[in-house]
Amino acid sequence: MTIEFGNPDRPNSYIGKTVPRPNAGRLVQGRGRYVDDIVLPRMVHVAFVRSPFAHARITGIDAGEAKSVKGVLRVFTGKDIAEVCTPWVAVLAHLKGLKSPPEYPIAVDRACWVGEPVAAVVATSRAAAEDGSALIDVDYDPLPVVTDMMSALDADTPVLHEDMGDNLAFRRLHEAGDVEAAFKSAHKVVSTRFRTARHTGVTLEPRSILADWNPAEGQLTAYHATQAPHMIQTVLAEHLGVPEGRVRVICGDVGGSYGIKVHVYPDEVATAAIAKIMARPVKFVADRLESFTTDIHARDHEIEARIAVEEDGSITAMDVDDWTAIGAYSVYPRTSAIEGNQVVNLCGGPYDFKNYRAQTTVVFQNKTPTCQYRAVGHPIAVAITEGLVDQAAAELGMDPVEIRRRNMFRDDAYPVTSPANMRFEALSHHASMNKLMDLMDYDGLRAEQAELRKSGIHRGIGIASFIELTNPSPFMYGIGGARISAQDGCTVRMDPDGSLVALSGVTEQGQGTEAMLSQIVAEGVGVSPDKVRVITGDTQVTPYGGGTWASRGAGIGGEAALQSARALRESILTVAAAMLQTEQSRLDIRDGQVVDTATGESRMPLEEIGRIVYFRGDTLPKGLPRELVQTRHFITSDYPFAFTNGVQASYLEVDIETGVVKLLKHWCVEDCGRIINPQLVDEQIRGGIVQGVGGALFEEIHYDGDGQLLNGSMADYLVPMAAEMPDMVVGHVETPTKESLLGAKGAGEAGTAGAPAAVMNAINDALRPRGAQITEMPFTPERILRALGVLKD
Amino acid sequence: MSEAFRDRIDITLTVNGEPVEARVASGQHLTDFLRLELGLTGAHASCEHGVCGACTVEVDGAPIRGCLMLAPQADGAEVWTVEGLTDTAAIQDLQEAFVAKNALQCGFCTPGMLVAAKDLLSRGGIPSRQEIREHMSGNYCRCTGYEAIVDAVETVAQARAGRGAA
Ligand code: FES
Ligand code: FES
């Protein structure tokens, strides 16, 4: 059941409008408060000694010299930390067979990737801690290294974790229909090998934590740049042996996250453990090299895939063999099998076909662990699917838009279940495609492309339809045993001056969570958004919740806010009706005033209700409920996930002499259900597109055969800069989910999900007349010139 | 780090219009000096490698990467950070445009972006969108995708030139 928010003339119509973000003014004035900005009395700093080897036994640690550095207070080894902190094992019961060995905050006797913490040096300044860590003498006994993904399971490849038996972390095969028969009888079969490179998120604010143990109170307080404060609370409590109620995680301003800051990192847990041992505040802020070697990596996949089509373009089958290597450990507590699992779940997503087989094989290697990063698995699945569909269209001599239209689920077909067993409540592939065609003037662009080709200019148009998984239920993590909340809550309170405070379990990292919540609460109660103060990111203050990940902030946190706001509205009106001696149903709240519903005439400002309830409660009838604080929680239950959909297009030019790609324009039409703040949604899409484009054109972590990371600086790992990016046109179709009053689904990952495929298809569209094709990301000038046959060897 | 590096040096400079005298570690960069010694946390340390621009502040009228300048090199200089530029309303129109266009998400890149944009706008005229993009390419933003930043800078350039609306 969803409320209609369509009429723009309705009272308090803030949902659906662009209103300013309450926290933006602070941030443009340099008044943000990120973890590194916080200074506490007696605070010390920790720096980590990190393994220079991809795999080595630690045979001795000599801290003598380090301790003589002025300012250095203590040195900790893995054994020291293990005495106060238990190791973790990152598996989930519903990912059958997933295995991973116990992982310690600081390696105890064996380091398994370059960058793994081996010792910690605590000093009065970060500079002294770094000086000290440079003087720690660690004896290593190098061990055989596993770096290659595709040979990780070969009999002659060393086994990374002996206790695990082999290097296989997880494997899942999904099969629907009769795939072999469909391929046998197909009119055409197209098969291709795809590769997506190892990425990392490059948040401008590095990972940061300031942990403070107060033994007098028995409380651990962690100021933490995280997306999931309650999850971190649970983890710190469990592994440090502190009651959960005595761990407080405070998450102020966070300088970018994109999934990087939703995981448990060994050095951050070690920092909390050290705070507990030293009984004083300890700060850890990663430097940029540490970010590259220890922030989670993602997207390192190699895929062999094929598609079967009929003469009319109908897809009859898809077969996907996906491999990914996740580094040395599965990452706690979300695990590193989710990305491959998502590839299995999402391939072929927009299309109505029957025969589907997909397998993911997840292996260990001596590299930085990989885990969930913005749009988890989507960019891979969309590249596979849309790459195959485009190639099939080219083989059939069919327009890429036409082949998609023939295969996408009809807009009136819902609810449907996909061959991957994903359940779709309501999607709008055709409406979205139609809107895209209008926005980009597809036919006009095709004509321009053909015209320019005559003069040797190679432009390409690439289309990519996609689905995006949002609003996850406990089916994502909870059923596997992880204490990660799929539910979220909001408390809304009216204070004596009639202003509101909303406390929410979802968090803000710049997406505009607080603006979105303030609009919802404003509309739900009946005040203007500037009367609402939103508080997020404090586990001792807000309702328990999951935080912000998998595009759940608006859909889950927003719904909890709407329900609590509407409940508060009712309680305010109960008091107002008693004061005005009228029926509650005749009263409404508009713009901070209790009004007569029929006439709109003002009866009383909210301040007056505040004054009476808080200071003159004696004048109200005895026993009258006067609860001006309301809390509601929300969890989805009809569908495991609220899928959204959309379609992107890229227009670009390939210089066939140099291999350089120039992006000319980019479009995205997406359907995230109810839009709460159009500007914020558009900016999520744009930011997401650029992160996707980064993966398509620039981003790739390089390792050598010894497991050494080769490009650990911003100068060497390229991310998009302003000059290289195109302007982006964003359009929407709105199909609200019926699971909630609000009807919102997520929008944070759609841009990243579809952009790489759109760019890939556009490049291949440009190259096709030259008989070239590339499917290995990133599409560097070198790879393009190789595809063109200009570069050989 | 050598012993010589740990030496301390006396410096005198102006920061945000206020005189500052300090004894600094010779190896401390300007960003750490502003953040740790003066409590000016607007400039951020991100790559400390001169690449990302998050640390950009104004030194003697020019945008400078605080992570590439040692505090002792700022002896005698006039330094402005986002805090001072805010107090003097020197970039108020830019800040308002950044908010209006949502040209910031997490805000970590924003103080540096503002200083870089101020520099471009101080040259007068209305730069093209591509010129804005080129000029801002020393400042990374991982959140916005840049378009809103270009919009904000363009809007201010037009307004300052007396054409278009702010
Ligand atoms: S921190 Fe100075 S340029 Fe990145
Ligand atoms: S707003 Fe987050 S990096 Fe620019």
Q: How far is B75 from chain A (nearest CA, A)?
A: 22
In a domain, A333, yes or no: no
Q: Is the pLDDT of residue A763 over 60?
A: yes
Closest CA to A629 of A521, A717, A529, A545: A521
Q: Which residue of A has its CA nearest to B38?
A: A37
Helix, strand, coil percentages, rounded to 5, for chain A: 30, 25, 45
Q: Which pLDDT tens digit goes with each residue over A403-421?
A: 999 999 999 999 999 999 9
**A204:B108 CB<8 A:** yes
A655 with A681, same domain: the answer is yes
Are residue A432 and residue A508 in the same domain, yes or no? no
B150 touches chain A (CB under 8 A): yes
What spatial distance separates the first Cα and last Cα of chain A, rounded to whole Å? 62
β-sheet with A219-224: strand ranges across: A72-77, A117-123, A44-50, A282-285, A208-214, A219-224, A247-250
Question: What average pLDDT does this structure show over A313-340?
Answer: 98
Q: Residue B138 gets which letter from DSSP?
A: G
Chain B residues with CB-CB distance to A680 below 8 A: 102
**Radius of gyration (C-alpha) of chain B in whole angstroms:** 16
Residue-level pLDDT at B6: 53
Structure tokens at B140: 């990374």
Domain identity same for A601 and A665: no
Amino acid A3: pLDDT: 82
In A182-290, beta strands by DSSP E = 188-196, 199-200, 208-214, 219-224, 247-250, 282-285
State in Å: Cα B51 to ligand 1 middle.
5
Task: Indicate the top mutation candidate among B46, B52, B56, B104 to test ligand 2's pocket, ranked by most ligand atoms within 8 A of CB.
Answer: B104
Mean pLDDT over A288-317 rounds to 98
Phi, then psi, of B148 in degrees rounded to 5: -65, -30
H/E run at residue A325: strand A315-325
Cα angle at A206 between B39 and A65, to 5 degrees?
80
Residue A360 CA: distances (Å) to CA of A192, A305, A322, A341: 16, 12, 5, 7
| Domain limits, chain B | 3-85, 91-160
Taking domain B3-85, whether its CATH number is 3.10.20.30 is answered by yes
Task: Assess whether the C-beta atom of B45 lies below 6 angstroms from ligand 1.
Answer: yes
From CA A200, how far away is CA A713, in angstroms rounded?
12
Do B47 and A30 make contact, defined as CB atoms within 8 angstroms?
A: no
- Domains contained in chain A, number: 3
Of residues A86, A58, A61, the one with CA closest to residue A76: A61
Torsion angle of C-alpha atoms A478, A482, A487, A488, degrees rounded to 10: -160
Residues of chain B positioned with their CB less than 8 A from the CB of A253: 106-107
pLDDT at A428 exceeding the cut of 50: yes
pLDDT tens figures, A507-545: 999 999 999 999 999 999 999 999 999 999 999 999 999
Residue B158 Cβ contacting ligand 1 at under 6 Å: no
CA angle centred on A688, ends A733 and A471, rounded to 5°: 60
Residue range A36-63, pLDDT digits in tens: 999 999 999 999 999 999 999 999 999 9
- Cβ-defined contact of B105 to A683 (cutoff 8 Å): yes
Q: Is B41 on the interface with A (CB under 8 A)?
A: yes
CB A118 within 8 A of CB A364: no
At residue A148, does pLDDT exceed 60? Answer: yes
Is the N-terminal amide bond of A415 cis, ω within 30° of 0?
yes
Q: Ligand 1 pocket, B29 CB below 6 A?
A: no
Whether ligand 1 lies within 6 angstroms of the CB of B69 is answered as: no
| Domain-ending residue, one of A634, A659, A676 | A634
Q: List residues bridging with A776 in a β-sheet.
A: A195
Domain closes at, from A275, A294, A313: A294
Q: What is the model's pLDDT at position A167?
A: 98
> A108 and A232: one domain?
yes
Q: By the CB < 8 Å criterion, does B156 face chain A?
A: no
**Closest CA relative to residue A80, chosen from A106, A100, A109, A101:** A106
Nearest to B52 among A23, A134, A204 (CB): A204
Alpha carbon of residue A769 to chain centroid: 37
Sign of CA dihedral A595, A601, A603, A605: positive
pLDDT tens profile B73-127: 999 999 999 999 999 999 999 999 999 999 999 999 999 999 999 999 999 999 9
Which one of A204, A664, A711 makes the best mutation probe of the B interface by having the most chain B beta carbons within 10 Å?
Answer: A204
Whether A624 and A643 map to the same domain: the answer is no
Residue of B nearest to A19 (CA): B100
| Ligand 1 centre distance from Cα of residue B46 (Å) | 5
Closest CA to ligand 1's atom 3? B50
For chain B, what percent of residues have pLDDT higher than 90?
Answer: 93
Fold classification of B91-160 (topology level): DNA polymerase; domain 1 (1.10.150)
Which chain B residues are Cβ-neighbours of A33 within 8 angstroms?
A: 41
Atom of ligand 2 nearest to the CA of B142: 3
* CB contact at 8 A, A537 and A507: yes
**Token output for B81:** 């950070």
Gap between the Cα atoms of A115 and A290, Å rounded: 7
What percent of chain A stands above pLDDT 70? 100
- Which chain A residues in 255-294 lie under 8 Å from chain B, judged by CB atoms? 255-258, 287-288
Please list every residue in chain A whose beta carbon sits closer than 8 Å to the beta carbon of residue B49.
Answer: 288, 713-715
- Contact (CB, 8 A) for A654 and A460: yes
**Statement: the pTM of the whole predicted model exceeds 0.90:** yes
CATH of the domain at A573: 3.30.365.10
**Which of A608, A634, A660 is the C-terminal boundary of a domain?**
A634
User: Is the same domain home to A568 and A705?
Assistant: no
Backbone angles phi, psi at B29, to 5 degrees: -85, 165
Ligand number nearest CA of A686 is 2
pLDDT band, very low/low/confident/very high, at A4 (cuts 50, 70, 90)? confident
β-sheet bridge partners, residue B65: B56
Residue B104 to residue A28, Cβ atoms within 8 A: yes
Measured in angstroms, the CA of B65 and the nearest CA of chain A are apart by: 15
Q: Which of B1, B41, B143 sits opposite A510 (nearest CB)?
A: B143
Which pLDDT belongs to residue B165? 44
Is the residue at A359 inside a domain? no
Q: Tell me the three state secondary structure of residue A695.
A: helix
Query: Are A114 and A60 part of one and the same domain?
Result: yes
Residue A588: inside a domain, yes or no?
A: yes
The span from the CA of A326 to the CA of A296, in Å, is 10
Tokens found for residue A777: 């990301």
Residue A438, domain extent: 374-468+638-787
| Separation CA A226–CA A206 (nearest Å) | 11
Using omega within 30 degrees of 0 as the cis cutoff, is the peptide bond preceding A778 cis? Answer: yes
Q: In what order do the strands lie in the sheet with A301-309?
A: A168-176, A355-363, A315-325, A301-309, A188-196
- Alpha helix segments (H runs only) across A105-158: 126-134
What is the β-pairing status of strands A500-504 and A532-536?
parallel
Clarify whether residues A493 and A602 are in a common domain. Answer: yes
Where would I find the H helices in B11-146? Answer: 30-32, 82-87, 92-100, 110-121, 129-135
Cβ contact B41–A37 (<8 Å): yes
Residue A627 pLDDT class (50, 70, 90 cuts): very high
Using CB atoms and an 8 Å cut-off, which of residues 682-711 of chain A contact chain B?
Answer: 683, 686-691
- Is A194 domain-assigned? no
A274, A155 in Cβ contact below 8 A?
A: no
Distance B107 CA to ligand 2 centre (A): 5
**Tokens representing A26?**
């602070």
What's the DSSP call for residue B68? G
Average pLDDT, chain A: 97
Q: How many angstroms separate the CA atoms of B137 and A198, rounded?
A: 24
Same domain, A626 and A647: no
- A604 inside domain: yes
Read off the pLDDT band of B162 (50, 70, 90). Answer: confident
Same domain, A276 and A128: yes
Residue A717 located in a structural domain: yes
pLDDT at A6: 76
Is residue A602 within 8 Å of A593, Cβ to Cβ? yes
Radius of gyration (C-alpha) of chain A in whole angstroms: 27
Whether residue A544 contacts residue A489, with contact meaning beta carbons closer than 8 Å, is answered with: yes
A67 and A130 co-located in one domain:
yes
Alpha-carbon span A527 to A535, nearest angstrom: 17
Question: At A1, is the pLDDT very low, low, confident or very high (cuts 50, 70, 90)?
Answer: low
Query: Is A95 inside any structural domain?
Result: yes
pLDDT of residue B164: 47
Confidence tier at A551 by pLDDT (50, 70, 90): confident
pLDDT digits (tens, 9 = 90+) for A675-702: 999 999 999 999 999 999 999 999 999 9
Chain B 62-121, CB below 8 Å of chain A: which residues? Answer: 81-83, 86, 95, 98-100, 102, 104-111, 114
Q: Is residue A509 part of a domain?
A: yes
Instruction: Report the DSSP beta bridge partners of residue A732.
Output: A670
Q: Token pair for residue A404?
A: 């998609």
Residue B4 has pLDDT above 50, yes or no: no
Gap between the Cα atoms of A645 and A571, Å rounded = 38
Which whole-number Å values give the CA distances from A611 to A495, A533, A575, A628, in the listed order?
A: 9, 19, 12, 12
A206 φ/ψ angles, rounded to the nearest 5 degrees:
-65, 165
Q: What pLDDT does A438 receive? A: 98
The DSSP line for A409-460 is PPTT--SEE-TT--EES---HHHHHHHHHHHHTHHHHHHHHHHHHHTT-EEE
Average pLDDT over residues A368-372: 98
| Ligand closest in space to the Cα of B114 | 2
Report the pLDDT averaged over residues A84-107: 98
pLDDT in tens, A576-612: 999 999 999 999 999 999 999 999 999 999 999 999 9
Q: Which pLDDT tens digit goes with each residue over B70-88?
A: 999 999 999 999 999 999 9
What are the structure tokens assigned to A490, written together?
């909001």
CB contact at 8 A, B90 and B113: no
Binning pLDDT at 50, 70 and 90, where does residue B166 land?
very low
- What's the pLDDT score for residue A570? 98
pLDDT (0 to 100) of residue B163: 59
